[in-house]
Amino acid sequence: MSAQETPNPGKTIETPKGAWTITFLLFLFMLVNFADKIVVGLAGVPIMTELKLTPEQFGLLGSSFFFLFSISAIVVGFIVNKVPTRWVLLALAVVWAVTQFPMVGTVSFTTLLICRIVLGAGEGPAFSVAAHAIYKWFPDEKRTLPTAILSQGSAFGVIIAVPALNWIIVNHSWHYAFGALGIVGLIWVCVWLALGKEGPLEDTQALAVSETKIPYVQLLTSRTFLGCVAATFGAYWALSLGLTWFTPFIIKGLGFSQSQAGWISVLPWVFGATIVLLTGWISQLMMARGSTTRVARGVLGSVPLVIGGLILAAMPHVQGAGLQLALLVVGTGLCGAIYVVCPPMLGEFTPASQRGAILAIYGALYTLSGIIAPTVMGTVIQHASSTLEGYMTGFTINAAIMVGSGLLGLLLLWPNTERARLTGGTAAQSAPLKSAVSPT
């Protein structure tokens, strides 16, 4: 059988029983993941006040989370090519839980910094490993919606956690917010230990993509891989600013209270959740109606980045906190589309035996913006003539990066022809697995 031939031509690959249960558990996994990420930004003002931190120091704290994020993602990405994802996911979640508890008592800036670095190392591989696990449960043409649901763990992690954590911060202490997250993490560990399973489609999908491995240098230099990294880099710049600086901006830049900021902070994530789910649904619908993955994934994910960047660029030029917040919410929320489409695009042309590593390297590269963005914002704020002016300059930089990354995505994302080129087939053969499966 050649690399382009697939078993049982014309026959639909059915979704195995239990696939949606695993999807829901991994949705909760990502929910915990992003609740862990957001807590520093949410408690930013109390932390800066208690520890007497400057904006540059707080920016360093936000960036520290990503110091080992990328390295860990790559290492674990290669590990999951050999080790069942069930056990890797379990180990990651244990690390998340354990690193929260030192903050319950009196803590120094150094201790907080170290715990965030270790937490980042544990969370770096999270999305790529979870996506790799889900792709063992769904055939290619059915992956976009589960990927969207997985991505929504991040949004709901903020939407659900922010009001609860903010209540703890306001009524008790920011220290206890960290402790609550540690307990929630341990609960997920227990549930996954009881219900988590490995997907059965690994061998089928390996044949559906390619029987032989493709050299990593070809995969990593393919234009679609580079396009995914470039496009998601810009989206993650906005996300990392949201995690670290959105709540302090609401309080110190716009003058809202901590209690008010807790509710306002969920707005970008509510809007972003809507965008992600719509993108997943529209993409899958377009593919079912015959669109190439270039259009149904590449274009659909890149255009919102450009539009979002242009909206964000208007922030410094309007008056009023309400309008500025609306532009910030819509502009950054549109970034979510790219997270839905890039993992499935990479899965189109990557052999299943190499997919875990490629998804991890992709995640490791685009999340490098998480190291840069919070520090850049902190430096800009500290050296601006006013706090608000500093924030506006930082968001303008964010807007330019979003537009540029979206344009690179439009230029480079061609997953359908990529698969044909890498496997030596033809463009006709590279339609989204139509020779092997039927759209549903």
Residue 177: pLDDT over 50: yes
How many domains does one find in the chain? 1
| Domain extent for 69 | 19-427
pLDDT tier, 13 (very low <50, low <70, confident <90, very high otherwise)? low
Range scoring the smallest mean pLDDT among 4-18, 136-150, 211-225 = 4-18
The predicted structure's pLDDT at residue 202: 61
290 Rama class: left (phi>0) / alpha (psi -120 to 50) / beta? left
Each residue's pLDDT tens digit, 109-160: 999 999 999 999 999 889 889 988 888 888 877 887 888 788 777 777 778 8
Residue 418, amino acid:
E
User: Do the domain assignments include residue 93?
Assistant: yes
How far apart CA 216 and CA 199 sit, in angstroms, is 24
CB atoms inside a 10 Å sphere around CB 438: 12
9 assigned to some structural domain:
no
Using the predicted structure, report yes or no on whether residue 7 has a pLDDT greater than 60.
no
Asked whether residue 10 is assigned to any structural domain, the reply reads no
How much is the mean pLDDT over the chain?
86
Band of the pLDDT at 9, cuts 50, 70, 90?
Answer: very low
Q: What is the pLDDT of residue 341?
A: 92
**3 assigned to some structural domain:** no
Could you tell me if residue 434 is inside a domain? no
Between 187 and 146, residue with greater pLDDT:
187
Inside any domain, residue 440: no
CA separation for the pair 269, 275 (Å, rounded): 10
Rounded CA gap, 293 and 409, in Å?
Answer: 13
H-type helices in 350-386, by residue range? 352-366, 369-383
| Strand runs labelled E in 12-99 | none
- Answer whether residue 390 is part of any domain: yes
Question: Does residue 4 fall inside a structural domain?
Answer: no
More confident position, 330 or 357: 330
With contact defined as beta carbons under 8 Å apart, do 360 and 129 qualify?
yes
Indicate if the alpha-carbon torsion angle 242, 243, 246, 249 is positive or negative: negative
CB 109 within 8 A of CB 187: no
pLDDT at 225 over 50: yes
What CATH number should be reported for the domain holding residue 396? Answer: 1.20.1250.20
